[in-house]
Amino acid sequence: MALYKEQSLKIYNSMSGEKELFTPISEGNVGMYVCGPTVYSNVHLGNCRTFISFDLAFRYLKHLGYKVRYVRNITDAGHLENDAETGEDRIAKKARLEHIEPMEVVQRYTIDFHTILQKFNNLPPSIEPTATGHIVEQIETIKKIIEKGLAYEVNGSVYFDVFKFNKDHHYGKLSGRAIEDMIANTRELNAQSDKKNPQDFALWKKAEPQHIMRWPSPWSDGFPGWHLECTVMSSKYLGDEFDIHGGGMDLKFPHHECEIAQGEAATGKNPVHYWMHANMLTLNGKKMAKSTGNNILPEEIFTGKNDNLSKAFSPSVARFFMLQAQYRSILDFSNDALLASEKGFNRLMDSYRSIDQLPASSTSSFSVSEWKQRCYDAMNDDFNSPVLIATLFEAVKFINSVKEGEGKITHSDLELLKSSMQSFIFEVLGLLDVAVANENSSAKLSGTVELLIKLRAEARNNKDFATSDQIRDQLLELGIQLKDGKEGTTFSVD
RNA sequence: GGCAUCGUGGCCGAGUGGCUAGGCAGAGCUCUGCAAAAGCUCGUACAGCGGUUCGAAUCCGCUCGAUGCCUCCA
């Protein structure tokens, strides 16, 4: 029997503002769409947090036995830097600054994006469509919306008629806005706007002569509006209605609001059943954003080359740090927080590795099956990874107590403990055991250290503490820590 | 200005009416030749002010503060 039949997953739906029992449209199958990046520069750590959050959801849904189709787009068509009627798109700007083709910009940063997410051990999505690969579909959707009378053409550009749409629908229902408030709060636009109303948004923009990324359409040589690609690609691969749509909190308005409007205008159906929004990662208390320069690159974490960092941290430590906060909470990045996470992460891994060495008893002093269900309870509660991690640490405490000869565990509980820890740490949380990953290259090292441990033990037996301490202290200087336990000495490498 | 989210012990972060996570740091003890590691014990926090309630960090109101969106952003 599939696990999802035993576990009841609740997801916080941004649309209702409540945690709702998750029921997919088609039993056993989940369609999930997440807004991907615009590839005009390196992904920063804040971007990564969002994608790690949805990777966690993807992993858990799969773990529960769902067949998941995870679609995440790449925005590679240039979109304007602001809502002005003229201006340069960010990809073209980057191309001009670096003297390369716009598609070279796209290629370079798509590769960077993939490389970084792979280091964080994110699973690749099932489909990763690009905006430029779906121009035809986007034009077709614009035609549909025009036919419904909810879009209009002006000077080769097509705009979505928000006011007209709002007569029969509620534009603003996701972000809790009323159109009257939007009008009251509208900022002054430049006078030469083609839009009927400032709230209208572009479905198609006529390209200026210098605009490189352009495609023919019934209205003009131009390019699609930013919001359109997600509507088109999500419906193409997941259907007019699908289960989960995710993205960063900053996309809630206007991007996701526009997606809903486009979907409802084109098909008459409300496209998304569960809206999920991942919260921001902040640096120095401020949102990380490419546009303000308040950001830190993942590569700088891995190398330690950033003024905010005292040392380098592995991708798994950074991932663990982020998973220690719930995805809907703002998380503030700091060196101290990362240092604390690193210690906790290492303790978790050390404990996991020691499970094989635990002696079995005839009874257990810890209910493994009950503990396991609490792990599920945590994840079932809107993917609450920090509570899952806290629960994993209960097991760590127990494992260590067995090592000390305090706790007792039966053979079958031992098996269950090991397989559960394995599932949650690696499969669900997607953490990587650095020591295991380096096993092959470190086989010689561990042999060498084992030899030194043996020599030290002999020296200690002979009360030659000068020699034994020298071995211990010099190894520590090299980053190898010896740990004396009841069952002998083990070691860990930084 | 509008809308939204949030303010938890030294730090990071869970918890949404009573049983008061977890990690890191700190203190004591056990173990140890001494340490480290590990184990045990300790800390009793919820911005402020009112209100609801037998009982509130948790619900309501107000005040203060922070952040996000309202123009591109995960």
Contacting residues for A478 by C-beta, under 8 A, at least 6 apart: none
Count of C-beta atoms within a 10 Å radius of residue A99: 7
Q: What is the pLDDT of residues A338-396, one digit of tens each?
A: 999 999 999 999 999 999 989 999 999 999 999 999 999 999 999 999 999 999 999 99
Task: Name which of A201, A207, A246 is nearest A82 in CA terms.
Answer: A201
Residues 350-389 of A with CB under 7 A from strand B: 350, 381, 384, 386-387, 389
Could you tell me the domains of chain A? 28-278 (3.40.50.620), 305-435 (1.10.730), 438-493 (no CATH)
* Structural tokens at position A376: 């599920």
Contacting residues for A386 by C-beta, under 8 A, at least 6 apart: A323, A324, A325, A326
Contacting residues for A327 by C-beta, under 8 A, at least 6 apart: A53, A56, A276, A278, A279, A383, A385
| Distance of alpha carbon A395 from alpha carbon A383, whole angstroms | 19
Nucleotide nearest to A402 (CA to C1'): B39
Contacting residues for A2 by C-beta, under 8 A, at least 6 apart: A28, A64, A65, A66
Q: What is the pLDDT of residues A139-167, one digit of tens each?
A: 999 999 999 999 999 999 999 999 999 99
Which pLDDT value is given to residue A77? 87
Token pair 């997606």: residue: A259
| Distance of alpha carbon A61 from alpha carbon A383, whole angstroms | 10
What string of DSSP letters covers A31-87?
EEEE---B-SSPPPHHHHHHHHHHHHHHHHHHHTT-EEEEEE-BB-S--BSSSSSS-
Contacting residues for A439 by C-beta, under 8 A, at least 6 apart: none
* Structural tokens at position A325: 């906060």
Provide the pairing of β-strand A242-248 with A272-278.
parallel
How many CA atoms lie within 13 Å of A25's alpha carbon, on the beta-carbon side?
16
Nucleotide nearest to A339 (CA to C1'): B24
For residue A155, the Cα-to-chain-centroid distance in whole angstroms is 40
Nucleotide nearest to A338 (CA to C1'): B12
Task: Name which of A339, A347, A275, A378 is nearest A18 in CA terms.
Answer: A275
| Distance of alpha carbon A150 from alpha carbon A165, whole angstroms | 6
- Asked if residue A315 has a cis previous peptide bond (ω within 30° of 0), the answer is no
| Distance of alpha carbon A2 from alpha carbon A5, whole angstroms | 6
Residues 97-116 of A with CB under 7 A from strand B: none
Which pLDDT value is given to residue A307? 87
| Distance of alpha carbon A94 from alpha carbon A41, whole angstroms | 8
Question: Are A131 and A76 spatial neighbours (Cβ–Cβ below 8 Å)?
Answer: yes
Write out the H or E segment, with its range, that includes residue A121.
Answer: none
Which pLDDT value is given to residue A189? 47
Q: For A391 and B21, how far is CA from C1' in angstroms? A: 8
Residues 230-249 of A with CB under 7 A from strand B: 247-249
| Distance of alpha carbon A460 from alpha carbon A481, whole angstroms | 17
Which pLDDT value is given to residue A289? 84
| Distance of alpha carbon A434 from alpha carbon A317, whole angstroms | 10
pLDDT per residue as tens, chain A (494 positions): 899 999 999 999 999 888 899 999 999 999 999 999 999 999 999 999 999 999 999 999 999 999 999 999 999 987 766 554 556 788 888 888 888 889 999 999 999 999 999 999 999 999 999 999 999 999 999 999 999 999 999 999 999 999 999 999 999 999 888 888 887 766 554 445 788 888 899 999 999 888 888 999 999 999 999 999 999 999 999 999 999 999 999 999 999 999 999 999 999 999 999 999 999 999 888 888 887 888 899 999 999 999 889 889 999 999 999 999 999 999 999 999 999 999 999 999 999 999 998 999 999 999 999 999 999 999 999 999 999 999 999 999 999 999 888 889 999 999 999 999 999 999 999 999 866 555 555 678 888 888 999 999 999 999 999 999 999 999 988 888 888 887 788 888 87
Is the Cβ atom of A440 within 7 Å of strand B at any atom?
no
Q: For A217 and B12, how far is CA from C1' in angstroms? A: 53
Q: For A132 and B69, how far is CA from C1' in angstroms? A: 28
Question: Are A228 and A217 spatial neighbours (Cβ–Cβ below 8 Å)?
Answer: no
- Which positions of chain B lie under 7 Å from any protein Cβ? 1-6, 11-15, 21-25, 32-40, 66-74
The sign of the CA dihedral A422, A426, A431, A436 is positive
* ipTM surpasses 0.85: yes
